[in-house]
Structure 1
Amino acid sequence: MPRVALIADRHGMAEYAKKAGADVVVVHEPADPADQIAGFCQQTIARPLDDPSGIVAALRPLHEQQPFSRVLTTNEEGVLAAAVATAELGLQGNSVESVLALKDKSLTRQAMERHDIAPVRHRVVSSAAELEDFHREIGDHIIVKPMDSMASANVHLIAEPDGTGDAWRQLVAAGYRTALAEEYLRGPEVSVETLSVRGEHHVVSINEHLLNDYFVAVGHTMPSRITGDHFAELCSLTRRLLDAVGLFEGPSHTEFILTERGPRIVESQSRMAGAGVGELERRSHGVNRARLAVTVPLGLEQVPAGLPLDGGGAAIRFFVPRPGEVTAIRGLDAVDATLTHTGIDTYGRTMNELLDFAGVEVGVRLAAQVGDVVPEIQSGLERRMGYVVASGRDGADAALRAESVMNRIEIETRPI
């Protein structure tokens, strides 16, 4: 029987592995309760996920008693620890170098340059003056963002050189001393969702993003309605990038802007996408990538032939009320969907609750309550008011169904 160590489990991997016939050990943050997954595990271990050496120290004696087949994760917080543990325990899996080449956005750009993959002008900067110099060199809008972050946090669009000082002050206030500056790519955003198996990269779907003014995704549509003639090029560029960094296995999420010059890579991560994308894959293509991410490396399941599979469509839309205090919520009685109305919860737990809607065509989870304070959504971690998820004949039909239901619900706020 194979044995797997999972570094965090926010996509149900422990349950999938146990039901497929594997023994499971899960490492989790000390602040995250493990009671929901304990029944699927031989053991759960509380360790900070940003301490790879501590995780290795905890796993090594367990490995010596009963060897692990793999150390795996589907989460951003766990990718480095999983790679370090894989190397230290002498297992197959993603190398530290390949994981870092995607985790650090400047290293991703370097890999793209070396392999001539849809180049984007960029520079690592460490001062407001360097950022301003780069802006003047580009002669147009630029983006500056942390080199290692997630959820679109601390991303700044700078239109004019005199705006570089303010952007830099905000980055420094957030704790950053270096950042990645890039030319601003104009166009809609999509992502290629893949599963790699022994260095072969299988495209599961292409996902269309709906972004707010802070570049945070407040909606997804699958399959993308806007890919058009770019499908083959998007798949090719994704595979070339994952080959360039040497990704061996597991899920990845590669974001693109469809510019006038063609698709250009924004960034890529060796993990599952957030914001409910895994559930959209299941609804639109019948593929459970989180399950495959653990069962395939363990030899318990094969990748489905013919990916991406034909199917229907799926969409998710997040509630984005005006910032302020919630004073009224109207329209719930007019909603033709399965509805849950709960309190504001953490983002990760909110997304796990998508599984509650797995058997329904349209589901609504409204977290906002009268008296709650709605933040300005400047990162994915602030999408906490709820969402509508829908299936459809195709992506366009699913998006229409989700938006139709969302438009019936009014969350009224007052400034504070």
Structure 2
Amino acid sequence: MGRLLLPALGRHGLECVHVQSPHPDVHMARLPFPDGFVANVRHHGDVAATATALRELGVDWVLSSGESGVELADRLAAELGTPGNGMSRPTSRRNKYDMVLALRDAGVPHAATIVSSDADEIVKWAEETAGYPVVLKPVASSATDNVVACSSAEQVRAVHEKIMNSNDRHDKPNTVVLAQEFLDGDEYFVNTVSRDGEHHTVEIWRYYKTRLPGGNIIYDYNEPLAPDDPDAKALESYTHQVLDALEVRNWASHTEIMMTARGPVLVECAARFGGGQVPDIIDRCLGTNQVDLIALAVADPEAFHRLPTTAYKLLRRLRYVHLVNADEHGVAPSDEAMAAIRALPSYAHAVTMHPAGNPLPRTVDVATQPGYVILISEDPEQLRADYRKIRELERDHLYAARPQEPAS
């Protein structure tokens, strides 16, 4: 998402320096480095030294463009004395257990949670406190990495072992596993932009997810919620409480919430952009977008503060459809294979995550999803019909390898 922030800030006449954090997302590292930065600073672990380099370059703001930069951006902003987030418990914006503790201490509703390097301790907690299913995940990863809903002690032990024997998306070893009560309800995400502790809601979407037979949870599709929807009001109010509890005072955040029978309960909050955005389309359908609002908060805080708390409107109906490869094998779709999707009446945009013809694994998380398609239509039935057609194309041939031409 930081690639999109660069031109947005440029439209306000602001130049950007790139700070490379030491533990980037391993799935994003393959992306080509964008042009347009006036300097590149590689961080080697010494915050004071990196801050000195930024100070010499005249840096006035430090922004995190992704999960791997959240903690470093906060530490650099504190060192430089530039606008940033509260530093009384900075790990609460990355470590999901510290996040829950921050909510607990602030009196904000939260999920029952435990962390442990001992699978039997989690089994005991599940059987005596939380009940099955329980959700296991790494304590500080992202993007549904090893997020599994476990329905038995045996599954808890197997998933716990898998997580403990793997690195997270930032190539850091998992030394503990986080377990949470299974939150039953509808899941949403709320994207916000903050400046000086004032929060503005940019969009609220409902997640539709699929729980696979092995317990992995993957994205199916997302749809935005109208800002005057009663659930939207409750979600917005709760999100702003979460941001205050986590001391998110400046820049972007992406908050995932389950609307349960007892009200909104946090799944997790990330102090950075929401992923997978296409600002032009979001702007057309919601009247604003998180990237441009971040740039406004930096360049013109007075104009930013004049915005209404709920900064978006539902101008057009849209649906983000996450592509899913259900087979053990497959290949990334060719331009020819995607033509059938582009021909759908509501088609607006598509992103594929791998070059055409590259091998695809079975989809079990965000990293293994082949991409996504954006549909826009004023007719809800058209959106549903085109969604069903995408799933039909996937089952039929979308990820099939092209047959070999016969030898001449």
> TM-score scaled to structure 1, two decimals?
0.79
* Number of the residue aligned with 1:380: 366
> TM-score scaled to structure 2, two decimals?
0.81
Residue 40 of structure 2 aligns to a residue whose secondary structure is strand
Q: Distance in 2 between matches of 1:234 and 1:16?
A: 28
* Number of the residue aligned with 1:312: 316
Q: Distance in 2 between matches of 1:315 and 1:36?
A: 28
* Number of the residue aligned with 1:296: 297
Per-residue deviation, 1:371: 5.3
Per-residue deviation, 1:140: 2.7
* Number of the residue aligned with 2:348: 362
* Number of the residue aligned with 1:163: 155
* Number of the residue aligned with 1:347: none
Cα 1:398–1:217 change in 2 (3 A) is: farther
Q: Which of the numbers 165, 170, 176 marks the counterpart of 1:178?
A: 176
Render the CA deviation track for 1:109-137: whole Å, top value 9, x for unaligned: 11121122223211122201111111111
* Number of the residue aligned with 1:128: 119
Q: Distance in 2 between matches of 1:62 and 1:112?
A: 33
Q: Which of the numbers 150, 154, 175 marks the counterpart of 2:146?
A: 154
Cα 1:302–1:53 change in 2 (3 A) is: farther
Per-residue deviation, 1:368: 6.8
2:107 is equivalent to residue 116 of structure 1: yes
Q: Which of the numbers 91, 95, 99 marks the counterpart of 2:82?
A: 91
* Number of the residue aligned with 2:248: 247
Judge conservation of contact 1:363–1:388 (CA < 8 Å) in 2: yes
Structure 1 residues 397-406 or 85-94, which shifts more? 397-406
Per-residue deviation, 1:235: 1.2
* Number of the residue aligned with 2:387: 403
Cα 1:200–1:284 change in 2 (3 A) is: same
* Number of the residue aligned with 2:170: none
* Number of the residue aligned with 2:192: 194
* Number of the residue aligned with 2:39: 43
Q: Distance in 2 between matches of 1:58 and 1:284?
A: 40
Per-residue deviation, 1:291: 2.4
Q: Which of the numbers 362, 377, 388 marks the counterpart of 1:392?
A: 377
Q: Distance in 2 between matches of 1:44 and 1:370?
A: 31
Judge conservation of contact 1:112–1:119 (CA < 8 Å) in 2: yes
Question: CA RMSD of the aligned region, Å?
Answer: 3.2
Per-residue deviation, 1:19: 2.0
* Number of the residue aligned with 2:25: none
Render the CA deviation track for 1:221-257: whole Å, top value 9, x for unaligned: 12379x9532222111111111112211111111111
2:263 is equivalent to residue 262 of structure 1: yes
Letter in 2 for 1:314: L
Per-residue deviation, 1:97: 4.3
Judge conservation of contact 1:283–1:313 (CA < 8 Å) in 2: no
Cα 1:204–1:331 change in 2 (3 A) is: same
Q: Distance in 2 between matches of 1:282 and 1:401?
A: 24
Judge conservation of contact 2:8–2:292 (CA < 8 Å) in 1: yes
* Number of the residue aligned with 1:219: 221
Q: Select the structure that is richer in strand.
A: 1
Judge conservation of contact 1:324–1:375 (CA < 8 Å) in 2: yes
Letter in 2 for 1:199: G
Cα 1:389–1:33 change in 2 (3 A) is: closer
Q: Which of the numbers 89, 94, 102 marks the counterpart of 2:93?
A: 102
Q: Distance in 2 between matches of 1:252 and 1:367?
A: 24
Per-residue deviation, 1:393: 3.0
Judge conservation of contact 2:103–2:245 (CA < 8 Å) in 1: yes
Q: Distance in 1 between matches of 2:247 and 2:135?
A: 27
Letter in 2 for 1:250: W
Q: Distance in 1 between matches of 2:192 and 2:209?
A: 21
Cα 1:62–1:335 change in 2 (3 A) is: closer
Q: Distance in 1 between matches of 2:278 and 2:284?
A: 10
* Number of the residue aligned with 1:355: none
Letter in 2 for 1:26: H
Cα 1:196–1:100 change in 2 (3 A) is: same
* Number of the residue aligned with 2:5: 13
Letter in 2 for 1:166: A
* Number of the residue aligned with 1:285: 286
Per-residue deviation, 1:259: 1.9
Judge conservation of contact 1:388–1:402 (CA < 8 Å) in 2: no
Give the aligned length. 376
Judge conservation of contact 1:284–1:312 (CA < 8 Å) in 2: yes
Q: Which runs of 5+ in 1 are unaligned?
A: 1-8, 340-359
Q: Which runs of 5+ in 2 are unaligned?
A: 23-28, 167-172, 402-408
Judge conservation of contact 1:314–1:398 (CA < 8 Å) in 2: no
Judge conservation of contact 1:142–1:157 (CA < 8 Å) in 2: yes
Q: Distance in 2 between matches of 1:52 and 1:217?
A: 35
Q: Distance in 2 between matches of 1:99 and 1:230?
A: 30
Residue 216 of structure 1 aligns to a residue whose secondary structure is strand
Q: Distance in 1 between matches of 2:145 and 2:198?
A: 31
